[in-house]
Amino acid sequence: MPPSCSSDVTTPTVGDCKEAHRDSAQPGSLSLSSSRTAPPIHVRAALTWLAIFPLVAIGLTAMAPFTVGWAPLLRAFVLTLVVVPLAVYLVVPRLMTIYDRYLAPRRKG
C-alpha cells in the first residue's frame, strides 16, 4: 500500500489508494462502487467551484438581512455549515453525474 494510503480506509474516494483498487476481485481489497475512473483534477476543481460559488452567493444574499450585526467569522461559520454539506452531498454528485453522462470522454471498446 502506498505511504499516503492508510490501512484503516473504510470509504475510499476516487483517486485515493489507486494501488488498493487495482484488483477488486481480491478479498479484502478496496473497490469503488462504480467502474468509472475519476475525472482529471482540473475538472473536479471546476465542478466543485461550479457547486460552491452559487451556493455561497445565494447563502450570503439570503443571510444578509438576518446577520447584519454578526461578526464576519460567525457569518462565515454559519454559511459554511449550510453550504459544505449541500455541496458535498447534493450538488457536486449531481454535477459529476452530468459530467459523466454528457461531457466525459467515452471509452472505445
Q: Which tens digit of pLDDT belongs to each residue from 30-81?
A: 444 556 688 899 999 999 999 999 999 999 999 999 999 999 999 999 999 9
Q: Which of 45, 23, 56, 57 is nearest to 92 (CA)?
A: 45
Q: Which residue has the cell 492508510?
A: 6
Supply the mean pLDDT for the chain: 79
Which pTM does this prediction carry?
0.64
CA pair distance 101, 99, nearest whole angstrom:
6
Cell 484503516 found at: 8
CB 61 within 8 A of CB 79: no
Residue 70 confidence (pLDDT): 97
